[in-house]
Amino acid sequence: MASAHNNTISLGTDSLGKLLARYSIPAIIAMTSSSLYHIIDSIFIGHGVGGAAISGMAVTLPIMNIASAFGAMVGVGAAARISIRLGEGNKRAAEDTLGNAVLLNIVLGVSIMLVFLLFLDPILIFFSGGEASAETLDYARRFMRILMFGNIITHLYLGLNEQLRASGYPRKAMFIMLLSIGLCTILNPLFIFGFGWGIEGSAIATVIAQSISLMVQIHHYTSKGSFLRFHRRSLRFKRNIVTAILSIGMAPFLLNLCASFVTRFMNTALLKYGGTGAMDVVSALTFDGNVGDVYVGAYGIMNRVILFFIMVANGFNQGMQPIIGYNYGAKQYGRVIKVLKYAIICASCVTTLAFLIGVFLPNQVAAAFVDSSHSAADMAMVDVVAQGLSIAVLLFPLVGFQIVAGGFFQYIGRAPLAMFLSTTRQLLFLLPLLLTLAPRYGALGAWAAMPIADAASVVVAATLITLQIRKLRRMEHNLHFSR
């Protein structure tokens, strides 16, 4: 217990560079491994099942984003609240927040599972815009049925890992996530190739791995050596705690929800207009097959690659969360500003690397996912990925700043601003651009919408961050003067 207590106290005293490294590196390792697993999973499915299965998984992306939206709302909201409470020296309130987060995850996990299982077919048709082929929808259906049965496990596992990091256990949070990823990496090829379970094998591997990791987390929170523990008194809903969790967590909720609907419209636009633009690399007039499915599968691959770098940048975002939350609660505003700057620099370096790879090595990235010798559709998919990726990352050197700025407002409890930033890129910029450019320019218009939206949202984020930093400096000055 003493060790964990010292970990939280050090958030307000240790070197900020060392603290950011201490909390970010485990998060980066865990999140990078998670993204790598999703990439490897796609490669297994692409080579073991085929390009059509990747297209099916791409159709499920907006549905999984909705499920993730509710999990992120509770996980991030509770973690931010726990950090602030620990900064205030209120351990009991932090434990009450932990207990309420568990209850919320159980209720939401079961509710989402029931709704999605009962209405899976109409949901899949809606999110594919009614344009996907029967084969693509079949793969999506088979994949989602299994994942939804394990939805409550996913919610609890991801949520408790956020709280582990916030309560002073970043390395343990990393090891638990690596355990889940390692098990998935072993079970995936076994189930897909060894047992011949196809796309269902991938989903089963995920549920089993997360179940085992959840058991480890439960053991931690029931152990006497843990700084924060489960208590019966904490496992009761308290209105003020639930409200605080949901208000802070509303920003990541809206971010994931918006991403879900944007992905839906992106899939629909690609299914309908992919291959119709004059500069599209695959033409619907010359391709013998469903060209829309090829573009949707390519977008799914692009998402996996882009998400890898976003997750690494998010590792710095997550690493600064307990530091900012604790110091903001302790009214050490100078430290808050300094760690924010460190995180922005580090995240921007990561997204700049994504830009370099996407622009200069797009063909090599595309070829890693699909064996172009399988079929004409798989060969076409490689060409589409190469074109789309090189365009989508054009403004990525600025995206690292955008990611950190969005997280910053969550961590200091500025829920309205965090929610606004979470919706600007997706709803205010990307969606209108997508609906305007895709019908006119085909897939090229869909790809171009992404960097244009990035540029506009960075301008908004920079304005808000500048104003907030000025406010923090005034608060620091007034606090120093009053002493």
Q: Where are the domains of the chain?
A: 14-482
Query: In angstroms, rounded to a whole number, what is the distance separating the alpha carbons of residues 443 and 323?
Result: 42
Q: Is the pLDDT of residue 148 over 60?
A: yes
Q: Is the pLDDT of residue 250 over 50?
A: yes
Q: Is the pLDDT of residue 379 over 50?
A: yes
Whole-number pLDDT of residue 406: 81
For the record, the structure tokens of 324 come out as 């900012």
Looking at 62-71, 293-302, 434-443, which range is the least confident one?
Answer: 62-71
Stretch 6-17: mean pLDDT, rounded?
Answer: 69
Looking at 80-94, 95-109, 440-454, 465-479, which range is the least confident one?
Answer: 80-94
Residue 269's contacts (CB-CB under 8 Å, 6 or more residues apart) are: 434, 435, 438, 439, 446
What confidence tens digit (pLDDT) does each residue in 418-428 have? 778 877 888 88
What confidence tens digit (pLDDT) does each residue in 320-375 have? 888 888 888 788 888 889 999 999 999 999 999 999 999 998 888 888 877 656 56
What's the pTM value of the predicted model, to 2 decimals? 0.69
Q: What is the percent of the chain with per-residue pLDDT over 70, rounded to a whole number?
A: 89
- State the virtual CA torsion across 328, 330, 333, 335 in degrees, nearest 10: -90
Residue 280's contacts (CB-CB under 8 Å, 6 or more residues apart) are: 274, 442, 443, 444
Whole-number pLDDT of residue 2: 40
Task: List, in sequence order, the alpha helices (H) in 331-395.
Answer: 333-360, 362-369, 376-392
Mean pLDDT of the chain: 82
Q: Is the pLDDT of residue 72 over 60?
A: yes
Q: Is the pLDDT of residue 404 over 70?
A: yes
Rg (CA), the chain: 22
Residue 117's contacts (CB-CB under 8 Å, 6 or more residues apart) are: 145, 148, 149
Task: List, in sequence order, the alpha helices (H) in 412-442.
Answer: 415-423, 431-441
For the record, the structure tokens of 327 come out as 């110091």
428-436: long-range pairs with CB below 8 Å, 24+: 428/456, 428/457, 429/453, 429/456, 429/457, 430/262, 431/258, 431/261, 431/262, 431/265, 434/262, 434/265, 434/266, 434/269, 435/265, 435/269
Stretch 376-384: mean pLDDT, rounded?
Answer: 78
pLDDT tier for residue 7 given thresholds of 50, 70 and 90:
low
